[in-house]
Structure 1
Amino acid sequence: METEDDVPLHLKSLAAFLIRHHSDQLRSITLSPDPKLHYPLYIDFAELMNEDPPLAHLVFSHPIDYLRFFDDAALWAHKIVFDKLKFEKAVEKIFIHVRINISGSPLECPETFPSIGHVRVKHHGILLTLKGTVIRSGATKMYEGERTYMCRKCKHMFPVYPELETRNSIVLPPSCPSQRSKPCEGTNFHYVENTIICHDYQEIKIQESTQVLGVGVIPRSTLVILKDDLVDIVKAGDDVIVTGILTAKWSPDLRDVRCDLDPVLIANHVRRTNELKSDIDLPDDVIMQFKQFWLEFKDTPLKGRNAVLRGICPQVFGLFTVKLAVALTLIGGVQHVDASGTKVRGESHLLLVGDPGTGKSQFLKFAAKLSNRSVITTGLGSTSAGLTVTAVKDGGEWMLEAGALVLADGGLCCIDEFDSMREHDRATIHEAMEQQTISVAKAGLVTTLSTKTVVFGATNPKGHYDPDQSLSVNTTLSGPLLSRFDIVLVLLDTKNPEWDAVVSSHILAEGEPGKEKDEHLAHIWPLAMLRRYIHFVKGYFRPVLTKEAEKVISSYYQLQRRSATQNAARTTVRMLESLIRLAQAHARLMFRNEVTRLDAITAILCIESSMTTSAIVDSVGNALHSNFTENPDQEYAKQERLILEKLKSFEEFPDIISME
C-alpha cells in the first residue's frame, strides 16, 4: 500500500467521499474475517452527483478508468479505517469493489436506461443500465484480471489489464508508462513472476421483458459479464436491473460463420427486482381508498365484491362465475409447510373448457395484464423444453435456458389451446403445477428450478361436449392433470334466446360514441386500480380458517367423495386443498384476515361450477350464463341455505352447523 504522499489527488478526493458517506460499510468490511474475499461497497450515483457533479460526470463518461480509480480509493479508505481499528480484530483486505446504483438518480432516462433492443454503438464506453429477465446463466469460470510487467530500462513496475474485445489477450503499451519528470521511453518489458491476479467470472444472458414489448416485436437479449462478488447472485428466471460498461467481444470462431463483435455489458451493479415488484407502488392514499370502499359496503359486502369483479374483463358481458374464478386464482391462498417439512402450494390453477366464442382467450389476456409478471403461450407453439427448461450448447459448453414456466416464476403462465399440446409435453408440467419445481437432468446438468407460478389454461372440448361423459373424456386431458387444477369451468353455448338478446344489446351499446365511463370505484374498477388491489391483498392478508369454515369444507369434501362416480379424477385430497385455497383467496378478496362461512360456501360454489355432475343439485347453473345479480347478498342467502341443508342431511353429520 502506498504512503499518503504517493496517493494521487483524485484518489484522495474519492477516498474522502467514501469515508464521509460510507464509513459504516468500510467499518464492517474491515471487521470481516476473510482477507481474500471480494467485498462490495455500495454507493448511490445521486449522492455522488450532489457531492461532486464534475466527478460524477467523469465516472459516467469514462467508467473504465474511473471505476478502477474508485476501487483503488476504496482500498485506500479501507487502509485509513483499518489503522483506526487495529485493536478491534480488524483484518486488512485486498479486494474491494465500488458498486454504483443508478436507480433514482438523474441518469434514469431513456439515453442511459435504454431497452435491450435499443442498445447502439453510441452507448459504447459509458455507464449504462439495462433491465430484463435472466434467461440463461453460465458456469462460474476464472479469468486473468491483471499481471505486472517491469521496464528493463528504468525498473518501473506497472499492471497490464487484458482486453475483452481481443479475447482477453494482453496488449503491452508502446513505451514505458512511468510518470517521472524525464520520460523513460523504454520499450523492453518483462513479466514479473507470480503477479497474475485471477477473478471469478460468469456470463449470463438477459432478455427484454415481454410485458413492455409491442405486438410483433421479437424480444432481444444481450450477454452480461459478472465478476467477483457479483457471480452467482442471480439465476434463470430472475428480473434484474444491471448497471455496467457496454463493450464488445468477438463472437466465437465457427466455420462458415462471419466473425462479428457482439455487444457485452460488463456489470458493475446488479439488482434483483423479483421481490420489489417495482412497477407497482402503493401510496397511503390508495390504501385508504380501499379501506373506505369496504366501509361503504360494510352492510352489503357481496355487493362490494361484485363491484370489484365487474372490473375484470369489462368488455365481456356477464360470466360472473368466470370473473370470480379469475380473481380467486390470481389472488391465491396462503402457502404453508406441513409437519414433514413439505410445502403445500398457495397458488391456484384455473382451466377454462368451452365452446368457441365464449371469451376464454379474452380472460387469459386480461389476467396477464393484471399480473405483475406473466408469460402467454399457446399449446401448439410450446414444446416441453419451451415450457420448462432447455439445454443449449454455447461455445462448447452446455447451459440451461429458462422456459415459460420458469420465466413466470412468482407470476402467471397463460397457456391457450391447452388441448393442442402433445401428451408428452403436458406430462412435463405435472411437477411444475403441484410441487412448484422443475427437476432437470439434461446434458450432464442435474438441477431443480423454481416454478412458483399460477397456471391458467384454456381449451376447447373434443368435438361436441357430452354432459353424460366425464371431464377427462370430453377434454382428452388425463385425470392426474385435471386434479391439479383448482377450478375447471365448463362454458357451454346452449343458445339461450333471452341471454342472446341481453348480450347483443350490451355489445351494441359498447360501440356507442360519447358514452361516458364512470370511474367511481362503486361501479367498474379501472385496470390500474385492480392491479394495485390484487397486489395489496396478496401481500397484506394471511387469512386463517375459523372452526365453522373448517366444518363446512370438511363435510362438503366427504359428501363429494361419497357421491363421486364420474369425476373420480377431480375428487382427490387435492380438492380439499383447493377448497382451502379458494376460501383463503375469497377472504383476501373481501379484505379480511379470517376465513368465515361465507368464504367456505363461495369456495364450494366455485368447485360446484367445475363439476359436471353436481353433488349439491340445482345450486349452480351454466357458468356461461351466470350474471351479476341486483341483490347478491339475498341471492347468497338462498344458496347458503341450500348447501347447508344438503350438508346437514348428510347422515353422518346431523349437527354440523346450527342454521341461522
Structure 2
Amino acid sequence: MYLPEVTADDEIYRDMVTFLTTNHSDQLRSLILSPDSRLHFPIFIDFAELMNDHLQVAQLIFSKPTDYLPKFDFAAISAQRLILKDSPGGSSSTIKENVHVRISILGSPLESPETYPRIGKVRVKHSNILLTLKGTVIRSGAIKTIEGERRYECRKCKSVFPVYPELETGNIIKPPLACLSDKSQECEGNKFVPVENSTKFHDYQEIKIQESAQLLGVGSIPRSIRVILQNDLVDIVKAGDDVIITGVLTAKWSSDLKDVRCDLEPVLVANHVRLTNKLKSELDIPDETIIKFKKFWEKFSSTPLKGRNAVLKAICPQVFGLFTVKLAVALTLIGGVQHVDASGTKVRGESHLLLVGDPGTGKSQFLKFAAKLSNRAVMTTGLGSTSAGLTVTAVKDSGEWMLEAGALVLADGGLCCIDEFDSMRQHDRATIHEAMEQQTISIAKAGLVTTVSTRTIVFGATNPKGQYDPSQPLSVNTTLSGPLLSRFDIVLVLLDTKNPEWDKVVSSHILAEEEPVRVKDDEDLTNCWSLSMIRRYISFVKGYFKPTLTKEAERVISSYYQLQRRSGTENAARITVRMLESLIRLAQAHARLMFRNEVTQLDAITAILCIESSMTTSAIVDSVGNALHSNFTENPDTEYAKQEKFILEKLNLVDEFPGVRRLSG
C-alpha cells in the first residue's frame, strides 16, 4: 500500500479536519493533554453523523477506505494542531501522531445486507469497501510486532520517501523497484538505502471470528474469517466474545505448508471493534409486551399457580404432561441471582439440570426446545465432544500456538446442551467440574497458561447404565461421579414404568386428529403462549427482577436442608452445601417466574418439591411421584395447599405458619 502525500489544497482533507474540529474537539483535547505520546489513541466517529455533515467524505471512505482512512488519520493530527493553536494547554500539551479514526456504522445506511453480510456470504464483491461483520471470537493469536513503515533514500536524486508493508505477502517491507519520490519521472533511479532509525513498528494480532450457528439452517456449517487487529485494537477481545467488526476486506496468501495448496485467503483488516457481550442475553422487548405480561398476572392474581401453569404449558408443547420436567426447565433457564459473599467469592446464579431417563422419555426434545428459548445456545453430544471440544484447545497455526474456544466457552452467557452425557470419557467429564461451579476454565496447554469465562447453564441428558435400579445410588446407575452430580441443581429421573392408564392418555394425545393451534403474538396470553413470547418473558424476568428471600422462605429452606443432612445416607453425594445454594437459586427463579421481586414461602416449597423430585430416596416420603407421569392438575392452587401442609408438618413448622390449616381447609 503506497500512501499518497496529503496536500494543503486537498478539499476532502480540509473537510475531514473541519469535521473533527467541529464534532470531536473534546476527544482531541483529551489526546493533546495525555502525557505519553508513544501510545496509540483512537477517535470514535459515527458514520451516520459524518454522512449528515460531509456526504462526499463519507462516500469516499466507504468506497475507497484503503486510500482515505489513512488521510483521515493525518487529518486528526492537523486538527490537533488547530486546537492547540487556538487554546494552548501548557507545556504538557503535545501533538499525538499515533492517532487512528475508528468508524462505527451502527445506525447508519451501511447497516444493510450488502455491507453487513453474514460471514458465510462474504464474496469478492465485498473487497475494498467498508464492510461490517458480526460473529463470535473462536481463536485469538499472540500479539506480535510488525514493521509499519520504513523510509528509503534514492541514491540518484537523494529524495527520501516511505515504503509500507504488503499485507498479501505477509507484512514484509521490500525495497522499491523504482524511485517513489515526486521527481521519480525525471530520476528513474533504482538503487536505494534505508534511512537509519526511520522504521516505525506497530502492534499486530490475528483473531478468527465465526458466525453464530443459531442464525443458520439445519445442515449449514458455520463459516469463519480471519481478522487483523493493529495498534490500539490489539488485546481487547478474547475467545468466546461476541463482536461487531468494521474494516476492509482484503486477501492474504495462506502459509506455505508442505502438501498444501497456497491460496489467497480473505482477511478483514479491522478499523473498529465493538464488543456485544452485554447484549448476549437481552432481547428487544416492546412496552406493549411488558403491559401484556402485567395484565396476565393481574388476571391470575387470585390463582397465581394456575397462571404459572399456563406459562409452563408453552414449554415443549409437543410432549404431553411431564409437568415436573417443564417446571425444572423453566427454573433452570431463568436462574437465580449471582452475588458475592463476605469473603469476596462469587456465588453463581446459573442453575444446571440433568435428565436421567429411559429411551423414549423425551430428553432430547427438551434439550432442543431449551436451546430455542435461549438467545445464545450451543448443542453438542457427549460422544462427539472431547475435552478440547467442550473447553478450550491449543492449535498450531502458521507455526504459532493459539487458543480455540470450545462449546462451554462459546456458550458463555447462555446455555450449553450436552446430550448423551454418559458417553464422555471420565477424563473429559472432569474438565467441566470447574466450568460448572467456578464458571471459569483454567488452561495450561502448549505453554499457554490462562483462564477463560464459562458463565453458562449446563443442561445434560443421559441414559441410565442398563436397567435403572432404584435401590442403588444415582452415581451407580449413571456412572457419573459424586462431585459432578453435586454440581447439578436438579437431577430428574424419568423411568418408563408400565402404567396402563398413563399409556392410554399419552397414546390418545399423540393420535389426536385435530390441527395444531397456530399461535400469534397478538393473541391473548391466558390459554396459549407462542415460542417468541415465552422467549421474551424469560429474558424479561431474568433482567428485571432481583428477588430477595423473606424470613418465611429462609426458615423453610433452612429446615429442609437440616432434615436432608440428618437423613441423607443414600444421597450423600448430593446433600452438600451446594444443595442449599441450589434451593436458594431455584426459589429465586420461581419468584421470577411468578413475576415477583421477593421469594415467598410458596417459592421455597416449590424449590423443595423440585429437589425432592431429583432425589432417589426422599427425606419427605411420598410427597412427589414419578416425574415422567407428572401432569398438569385442574386446580394447582388447591393441590399446592395440600403439599404445603404436608411438607410443613414434616419440617415441624406448622405451628410457625398458622395460616396453613386455613389454606388447606
Residue 377 of structure 2 corresponds to: 374
Match of 1:409 among 408, 412, 424: 412
The answer as to 2:556 corresponding to 1:552 is yes
Contact 1:58 1:66 in 2 (8 A): yes
Q: CA deviation digits over 1:342-395, x for unaligned, max 9?
A: 111111000001111111101101111111111110010010111111111112
The answer as to 2:618 corresponding to 1:589 is no
Q: Percent identity?
A: 75
Q: CA deviation digits over 1:74-129, x for unaligned, max 9?
A: 11112212223423653321211111111222112222222222222222212111
Distance 2:185 2:420 in 1: 77
Gap change, CA 1:515 and 1:425, over 3 Å in 2: closer
Give the C-alpha shift of residue 514 in structure 1: 7.6
SS class of match (1:560): helix
SS class of match (2:318): coil
Distance 1:72 1:569 in 2: 66
Distance 2:519 2:446 in 1: 56
Give the C-alpha shift of residue 50 in structure 1: 2.4
Contact 1:563 1:615 in 2 (8 A): yes
Q: CA deviation digits over 1:460-499, x for unaligned, max 9?
A: 1111111111111111111111111000011111232222
Q: How does 1:405-484 map to 2 (within 5 A)?
A: 405-484=408-487
Residue 135 of structure 1 corresponds to: 138
Distance 1:266 1:352 in 2: 45
SS class of match (1:275): helix
The answer as to 2:46 corresponding to 1:44 is yes
Match of 2:567 among 535, 547, 563: 563
Distance 1:656 1:151 in 2: 95
Contact 1:419 1:476 in 2 (8 A): yes
Contact 1:648 1:657 in 2 (8 A): no
Contact 2:281 2:414 in 1 (8 A): no
Contact 1:551 1:656 in 2 (8 A): no
Give the C-alpha shift of residue 656 in structure 1: 4.8
Give the C-alpha shift of residue 54 in structure 1: 2.8
Give the C-alpha shift of residue 595 in structure 1: 0.7
Residue 295 of structure 1 corresponds to: 298
Give the C-alpha shift of residue 232 in structure 1: 0.5
Contact 1:358 1:493 in 2 (8 A): yes
Distance 1:141 1:516 in 2: 56
Q: How does 1:166-565 map to 2 (within 5 A)?
A: 166-171=169-174, 175-178=178-181, 186-277=189-280, 280-509=283-512, 512-513=514-515, 515=517, 517=519, 519-565=523-569
After alignment, is 182-191 or 17-26 more displaced?
Answer: 182-191
Residue 14 of structure 1 corresponds to: 16
Gap change, CA 1:318 and 1:57, over 3 Å in 2: same
Q: How does 1:37-186 map to 2 (within 5 A)?
A: 37-87=39-89, 89-171=92-174, 175-178=178-181, 186=189
The residue type equivalent to 2:278 in the other structure is E
Contact 2:337 2:546 in 1 (8 A): yes
Contact 1:644 1:659 in 2 (8 A): no
Distance 2:302 2:311 in 1: 16
Give the C-alpha shift of residue 187 in structure 1: 4.7
Give the C-alpha shift of residue 633 in structure 1: 1.2
Contact 2:280 2:414 in 1 (8 A): no
Residue 583 of structure 2 corresponds to: 579
Give the C-alpha shift of residue 221 in structure 1: 1.3
Q: CA deviation digits over 1:446-467, x for unaligned, max 9?
A: 1111111110000111111111
Distance 2:322 2:253 in 1: 56
Distance 2:79 2:16 in 1: 9
SS class of match (2:375): coil
Give the C-alpha shift of residue 138 in structure 1: 0.7
The residue type equivalent to 2:14 in the other structure is K
The residue type equivalent to 1:553 in the other structure is I
After alignment, is 406-415 or 305-314 more displaced?
Answer: 305-314
Match of 1:638 among 624, 639, 642: 642
Q: RMSD over aligned Cα, in angstroms?
A: 2.1
Give the C-alpha shift of residue 279 in structure 1: 7.0
TM-score by length of 2: 0.94
Contact 2:159 2:181 in 1 (8 A): yes
Contact 1:377 1:414 in 2 (8 A): yes
Residue 30 of structure 1 corresponds to: 32
The residue type equivalent to 1:99 in the other structure is R
Distance 2:378 2:126 in 1: 30
Gap change, CA 1:186 and 1:24, over 3 Å in 2: same
Give the C-alpha shift of residue 559 in structure 1: 0.6
Give the C-alpha shift of residue 276 in structure 1: 1.9
Distance 1:181 1:202 in 2: 35
Residue 625 of structure 1 corresponds to: 629
SS class of match (1:255): coil
Residue 663 of structure 2 corresponds to: none
Residue 605 of structure 2 corresponds to: 601
The residue type equivalent to 1:255 in the other structure is K
Distance 2:294 2:659 in 1: 31
The number of residue pairs the alignment matches comes to: 653
Q: Which structure 2 residue ranges, 5 or more long, are not aligned?
A: 661-665
Gap change, CA 1:297 and 1:646, over 3 Å in 2: same
Give the C-alpha shift of residue 520 in structure 1: 2.2
Contact 1:247 1:266 in 2 (8 A): yes
TM-score by length of 1: 0.95
Distance 2:301 2:94 in 1: 62
The residue type equivalent to 1:543 in the other structure is P
Contact 2:519 2:530 in 1 (8 A): no
Distance 1:608 1:277 in 2: 33
Contact 2:247 2:269 in 1 (8 A): yes
The residue type equivalent to 1:244 in the other structure is G
